[in-house]
Structure 1
Amino acid sequence: MALGPAAPRVGAPVNRVDGVAKVTGAARYTADTEMPGVVHAVLVGAEIARGQITAESMTESAARARAAPGVLGVLTPMNCPRLNPPPADFSETWPVERRPPLSDLSVHHVGQHVAVVIADSFENATYAASQFTLDYRQVATDDDAAVRSGSYWPDHWVEVADEKLQDRRGELTEPTVPVSVSGQYTTSATVPYPLELSATIARWDGDRLTVYDSTRWISGEKRLLAHCLDLPEPSVRVISPLVGGAFGAKVFLWSHVLLCAVAAREVGRPVKLVLTREQMFDTAGYRPRTEQEVTLLADADGAICSTAHHTVTETSLVADFCEPAGLSSRLLYHSPRLEVSHRVERVNVPTPSFMRAPGEASGLFALEVAMDELAEQVGVDPLELRIRNHTEIDESSGRPWLDKHLLDCYRSAADRFGWANRPPGVRSLRRSHVQVGWGMATATFPARRMTAGCRVTTGADGCVRFASATHEIGTGVRTVMTQLAADITGLPLSAVIFDSGDSSYPATPRSGASQTTATVGAAVAEAATQWRRRLSEVAPSAAPAVHSLVGLSPEQIAALTFSVTTSAKIDDDVSIRSFGAHFCEVEVDEYLGRAAVTRWTAAFACGPVLNPKLARSQLMGGITFGIGMALLEQISEDRASLRRGGEYYLPTHADRPDFDIEFTEKPVDYFPGPTLRGIGEIGIAGAPAAIANAIHHATGKRLRKLPITVEDLMMPVGPRR
């Protein structure tokens, strides 16, 4: 059966199927959902980091709020219905808070939700919430130690048992070698800061709950809502039409979603709740700070003999999460001896979560700056040092890499950047009155795939719909899935629709870990393959074209409506991971304390590229995030009170250069295949280190703390010319 003439081949730069709707404002997000009779909820947050709210002040504040105009209800720990804690497999694996919201009058972090006000308008709800004036029996927090409550040593990263957070190989004692570097590296706490604020609308129809939410885990949220509200899962439906950016903020069931559902049940009306920008800092996840110690021991030629990477990070008192900064050090370079550890301190802070390449973004900053320091000690070019320590096996498992291509990335990007012309000495490049520096770093990110489902529905109008309970988070998932289904079925793109964002569709995992295309794509590919085979069986003479499908009988159409589920298993004999190389140029004005990234070249080995236009956009976004992490982003926090506030700086188009990005693999002509993997997060991995290394080359300043600030850049190092 020949492909239809209008079918786009996988690998073509197809435009987004929802692009026009998004740029014209026609796209509907959660907060845009219109619902008759909807009322509004506003959250009240705690003003201290640790203590107890007095019952008297809570009762009096709630009474004042209830008396405010338009108020329909007030929920506090004094009257909130009992909520079940999450299932153990969620709270033990994911950063899901064990303590249900409004459980009691205790406070564990600034901004913790302590009350909900429901009113007939957002303005009235906001005014009523302002009537809360709470008194606290407060624990002194004028010293950091006063808010620390012990620490623990997690064994592995979330559900991935072989990604060991405490790992060791080789001899117990360090070898005696001629070259060593050791440094302390710190990264600040940062927030995802998506353009779309987290929003939820909850509606009850008897005992059935429908939740519209800006979430990246529809299936997981459905299960958690059912469990916490003591409902059967079929009674809960979660709809997430579009997600306007997330970067980690919308992966899990945060307490505001549960409270919105409770509020809707209490007042008997649909309730809409939208977090404020300030609340996005306090209750929707963030990347925790890290303190990392990296030690590299090498022989005189720069061959690494021992790697040690020790991380201290933090989590809240009510949930477990570890920023896995040392995982890449286990496998990126050849190292006969290895020590990796992670210690997590429990602190009175909001619960941290996944954010923009968790672990790789923070950990590669430390490792890749240390690699440049080692190259300087040995007296070799930073790229040459990385090539000398390249390995063809995954040293954490002993398995060979499948389609690694990292050396190809190094050579391609270095040639296009002109790295061979880089003078080795620091402060050796100057442009007008500013110092110029060139830096590079390696990028890597895991390749994950999980179980997913897809449903196919063939319409009498000749349109074929594929549906999965996955999410369009702005990356182009609907486009790639539509393109993939059209390619395999042989139908024109206009005859295929991919539906997502509804828990009534077959279940898929969360959209995180850059796994959605590989995971959901495998299910869509299997469904499209089965559809084509079934078409040849029920209608041998029919071509995969709209006019042929219109003439099918109801029985034939029924045979072309079915569901599939694909396995997460790939291959136990090899390791699969994405790799890349960043090369960048910076200009540093030491008199103004300003660093500008002026040029960027990168190459990535991310497996087959299904849509190069979308893929390149993803990588440009990731690198831009890396610029933000390196030079701008940090949460301003008073360490005595643990209050978060002030401004939060993000890179804009004016802060990024033109990007020269290349893929080592050619577009795929088959699917699914074991080499397919995601690209959403590898762009940021290694990017901050490349910038820090370039700044060192420009100025001679070895900066080991992110973000690199004005004060860092103005600090004098040696005589200025």
Structure 2
Amino acid sequence: MPTASESVGRPVSRVEGVDKVTGRAHYTADVAVPGLVHAVLVQSEIPHGHVTEDSLRSGADRVGRAPGVLHVLTPLNCPELKVLPDELTYDLPLERRPPLSDLTVQYVGQHMAVVVADSLENATGAASLFELTYQAAPALLNAAAVLAAPTAPDEKGGQIRHGSYRPDHFVKLEEEKLQDQRGVAPLPESAVTRVDARYTTPRNAHYPIELSATIAQWDGDHLTIHDSTRWIAGERMALAAYLGIPEDHLRILSPLVGGAFGSKSFLWMHVVLCAVVAREVQRPVKLVLTRDQMFTSTGHRPRTHQEVTLIADGDGHIGSTEHHTVTETSTVAHFCEPAGLSTRFLYQSAHLVVSHRTARINAPTPCFMRGPGEAPGLFALEVAIDELAERAHIDPLDLRIRNHADLDQASGKPWSGKHLLDCYAQGAQRFGWRDRPAAPRSLQRGGVQVGWGMATATYPGRRMPAGCRVLTSADGHVEFSSATHEVGTGVRTVMTQVAADATGLPMHRVSFLSGDSEFPAAPYSGASQTTATVGSAVFAAATEWKRRLLVLLTEDPDSPYFGADPAGVDIAACAPAAVGAFADQLTFVAGSDAGDQSAQAFQSFGVHFCEVEVDEHLGRASVIRWVAVMDCGRVLNPKLARNQVMGGITFGLGMALLEQVPDDDRTALPIGEYYVPTHADRPEFDISFVDAPDYGLDPIGVRGIGEIGTCGVPAAIANAIHHATGKRLRDLPITLEDLMIPYRPADTRSPDER
């Protein structure tokens, strides 16, 4: 175990790792509650229409007589739930319409009933007895259909909405504009090289290992929820609003989350219904979604249709950039995949137009998914940059360097720290990029085509307010806690490292707890902000703890350090009993704000280089080698940081070559399977960091690392496949059929050269 002076910056293993690999770690579905009963959902099988009252009534009667059934909840007997206030729904993917509040069907998989029984088997069997009858209505299943159809009037006072709209900003981040414009387009005669292309990305599913699970238990008018969530504070607020109870009557517990990738960032309707049925039966109720239900009940990445136009002069300097995105949300909630955000600042461009349009379709509500916006958006932008480089006869890396932006063009602010050029240089050297032949189809190995591709990675550096409690025990152990979450990324580990360094204690005398709404508040664990946000609160609390201890040790007449210079006291050498003697004075709550973000722009950057092999006879693309260099501020734990980037790259590999939610174009019913990468798809990784602290964002010098590993990955793979095959593929995922299409040389000259 490292000493206090060497905690941060060391490759410390996860503090909860042994519990996880030995099965001692408990997740939501593992929680044992006396008297527990089980709930199972009944879901709709049509995308749009009404369920008939008669079928609900007869179905509930039939199911209610099944063995072990305790209660059947339907729209006909569901207690009235409140409508969420506008501030929770106008720019967040929380549903405006309470569940089971009417007989309309807005998407396949909508919750239609909940069956509660004495065992999971009885609840599942009874739920299968429901036979619902629908009055189907025409469904709009994609953005193109919405844009082509007349807009129907909104329903239920705006709880159900139709048509399309142009959102102003991304979630609560008003500075992240979804509609943006600057400068004047260059005159036609000054345009030497131009790219106009369309790119599409499919619906992706989060597919975490842990299924979403909820246990609801009432004690009088107080409710305890065990849930697989990564936004304890937000879930408490939204659930209290739906139920019409005070927030202080509600406790949310989520000690460990087994993967999320965005799917557990918000309150979903099954949690609300679990709380309702628990109150109805006056028993604790467990509800665990099936794998199939995860596809319709906990969000997804929506499809995007992106159009990118780049215009460059004879030296490859970009004069104009346009990036227009059409994406989709449900009729009952807002979400916009912000694909064009990175385009606003990544490359120098005097003229810029970025727009987003969101179409409300008859599909489940989408939400954040790893690298929201940047992952699909950089696929379009970075493939377009590669196309521009090819048409301009410039190396793709050189084109990016020529258009490097020295400040944030979107805000006009200087970067707090940007080392993208260092990433380019180090990555190119480690990969051997300068040996890359320019012409596609130049490399072969063992009868297959070989290609090299690259892409830039970027993701915002974010920080929000957070709190931290310090509890010092009589034995001298110091416990830090915050209502944040351990989603498998090592949050507890790095917080323990930060606390150990700031207090001056060795790590074995410090611990960090998370996952309880009774701890001081923290924001959702997403947007790569947890380390910067909660880490700042832990650092503030630990620094204050150290200050207090030194005062107590040197001013207490009974202390062996009485009268000593505080600067000379070695806290690590203090006996635990000496610390424990001041346990009461060393127990308190501290916190940190969002810091001063007014003068600088905070962004992480990086680069991906990859090598692929493409067997055009089998239609198989294999990613065999990967070099990534990341600029994410100070690296607190290189082992966990490298693991994060490896996971992000693997995530992006699935997005590029495998993943799309399959459903029938006519009925919207799920078909087929959802493929994700396995160990056999893993390339050889070479991952490194430009370890440059960013103290402008936070006092520990970090920027988030969870998302950036995925950003740019699909583009790097698509660009490598183009280099291998000469085929410019602009739709994800890249399929077997795409790769088996015979190669036909394309004329890449600009119109003026032809």
Q: Give the TM-score range, shorter chain.
A: over 0.9
Mapping 1:263-278, distance limit 5 Å: 263-278=277-292
Matched, 1:463 2:477: yes
Q: Determine the C-alpha separation between the residues in 1 that align with 2:24 and 2:140.
A: 50
- The answer as to whether partners of 1:10 and 1:668 remain within 8 angstroms in 2 is no
Deviation at 1:569, TM superposition (A): 2.3
| Partner SS state of residue 349, structure 1 | coil
Task: Give the gaps of 5 or more residues in structure 1.
Answer: none
Q: Determine the C-alpha separation between the residues in 2 that align with 1:341 and 1:529.
A: 45
Structure 2 residue corresponding to 1:92, chosen from 90, 93, 107: 90
Q: Determine the C-alpha separation between the residues in 2 that align with 1:477 and 1:8.
A: 18
Structure 1 residue corresponding to 2:127, chosen from 125, 129, 148: 129
**Is 197-206 or 395-404 further displaced after alignment?**
395-404
Deviation at 1:651, TM superposition (A): 0.5
- The answer as to whether partners of 2:15 and 2:493 remain within 8 angstroms in 1 is yes
Deviation at 1:403, TM superposition (A): 1.5
Q: Residue by residue, what CA displacement relative to the aligned partner does 1:22-73 show, whole Å, maximum 9, x if unpaired?
A: 1111100000101111000000000000000000000000001100000000
Q: Which residue of 2 aligns with 1:439?
A: 453
| Partner SS state of residue 583, structure 2 | helix
What is the one-letter code of the residue matched to 1:693? Answer: N
Structure 1 residue corresponding to 2:22, chosen from 16, 21, 24: 24
Q: Residue by residue, what CA displacement relative to the aligned partner does 1:407-441 show, whole Å, maximum 9, x if unpaired?
A: 00001000010001000001000001100000000
Q: Residue by residue, what CA displacement relative to the aligned partner does 1:508-541 show, whole Å, maximum 9, x if unpaired?
A: 0000100000000000000000000000112222
Q: Which residue of 1 aligns with 2:56?
A: 58
Matched, 1:399 2:426: no
Mapping 1:26-175, distance limit 5 Å: 26-141=24-139, 149-171=162-184, 175=188
Q: 1:5 to 1:122 in 2, by over 3 A?
A: closer
| Partner SS state of residue 575, structure 2 | helix
Q: 1:520 to 1:665 in 2, by over 3 A?
A: same
Q: Determine the C-alpha separation between the residues in 1 that align with 2:489 and 2:395.
A: 36
Deviation at 1:668, TM superposition (A): 9.0
Deviation at 1:226, TM superposition (A): 1.3
Mapping 1:271-310, distance limit 5 Å: 271-310=285-324
Matched, 1:375 2:382: no
Q: 1:146 to 1:364 in 2, by over 3 A?
A: closer
Q: Which residue of 2 aligns with 1:654?
A: 680
- The answer as to whether partners of 2:4 and 2:500 remain within 8 angstroms in 1 is no
| Partner SS state of residue 485, structure 2 | coil
What is the one-letter code of the residue matched to 1:351? Answer: T
Q: 1:60 to 1:565 in 2, by over 3 A?
A: same
- The answer as to whether partners of 1:306 and 1:338 remain within 8 angstroms in 2 is yes
Deviation at 1:178, TM superposition (A): 1.5
What is the one-letter code of the residue matched to 2:364? Answer: P
Deviation at 1:143, TM superposition (A): 7.9
Deviation at 1:93, TM superposition (A): 2.0
Mapping 1:531-610, distance limit 5 Å: 531-540=545-554, 541=561, 543-545=570-572, 548-551=575-578, 556-610=582-636
Q: Which residue of 1 aligns with 2:258?
A: 244
- The answer as to whether partners of 1:155 and 1:165 remain within 8 angstroms in 2 is yes
Q: Determine the C-alpha separation between the residues in 1 that align with 2:483 and 2:590.
A: 13
Runs of at least 4 residues off by over 6 Å: 145-148, 667-671
TM-score (norm 2): 0.93
Q: Which residue of 2 aligns with 1:207?
A: 221
Matched, 1:673 2:703: no
Q: Determine the C-alpha separation between the residues in 2 that align with 1:404 and 1:610.
A: 18
Q: 1:334 to 1:698 in 2, by over 3 A?
A: same
Structure 2 residue corresponding to 1:612, chosen from 638, 645, 651: 638
- The answer as to whether partners of 1:609 and 1:668 remain within 8 angstroms in 2 is no
Q: How many correspondences in the alignment?
A: 716
Q: Determine the C-alpha separation between the residues in 1 that align with 2:126 and 2:673.
A: 27
Deviation at 1:171, TM superposition (A): 1.4
What is the one-letter code of the residue matched to 2:410? Answer: S
TM-score (norm 1): 0.97
Matched, 1:713 2:713: no
Q: 1:69 to 1:665 in 2, by over 3 A?
A: same
The alignment's C-alpha RMSD in Å is 1.8
- The answer as to whether partners of 1:463 and 1:546 remain within 8 angstroms in 2 is no
Q: Which residue of 1 aligns with 2:207?
A: 193
Q: Which residue of 1 aligns with 2:557?
A: none
What is the one-letter code of the residue matched to 2:8? Answer: V
Q: Which residue of 2 aligns with 1:15?
A: 13
Alignment identity in percent?
62
**Is 139-148 or 256-265 further displaced after alignment?**
139-148
Q: 1:674 to 1:528 in 2, by over 3 A?
A: closer
Q: Residue by residue, what CA displacement relative to the aligned partner does 1:664-684 show, whole Å, maximum 9, x if unpaired?
A: 115799995374210000000
| Partner SS state of residue 557, structure 1 | coil
Q: Residue by residue, what CA displacement relative to the aligned partner does 1:87-108 show, whole Å, maximum 9, x if unpaired?
A: 2111112100000000011100
Q: Which residue of 2 aligns with 1:450?
A: 464
| Partner SS state of residue 634, structure 2 | coil
Q: Residue by residue, what CA displacement relative to the aligned partner does 1:443-465 show, whole Å, maximum 9, x if unpaired?
A: 00000000000000100011100
Structure 1 residue corresponding to 2:344, chosen from 322, 326, 330: 330
Q: Determine the C-alpha separation between the residues in 1 that align with 2:242 and 2:293.
A: 22
| Partner SS state of residue 558, structure 1 | coil
Q: Determine the C-alpha separation between the residues in 1 that align with 2:315 and 2:406.
A: 19
Mapping 1:212-223, distance limit 5 Å: 212-223=226-237
**Is 641-650 or 44-53 further displaced after alignment?**
641-650
- The answer as to whether partners of 2:185 and 2:319 remain within 8 angstroms in 1 is no
Deviation at 1:227, TM superposition (A): 1.3
Q: Determine the C-alpha separation between the residues in 2 that align with 1:547 and 1:671.
A: 33
Deviation at 1:548, TM superposition (A): 2.7
What is the one-letter code of the residue matched to 1:115? Answer: A
**Is 682-691 or 167-176 further displaced after alignment?**
167-176
Q: Determine the C-alpha separation between the residues in 1 that align with 2:312 and 2:637.
A: 42
Q: Residue by residue, what CA displacement relative to the aligned partner does 1:132-170 show, whole Å, maximum 9, x if unpaired?
A: 101111013498677773100001111111111011000
| Partner SS state of residue 44, structure 1 | strand
Task: Give the gaps of 5 or more residues in structure 2.
Answer: 150-161, 555-560, 562-568, 746-754
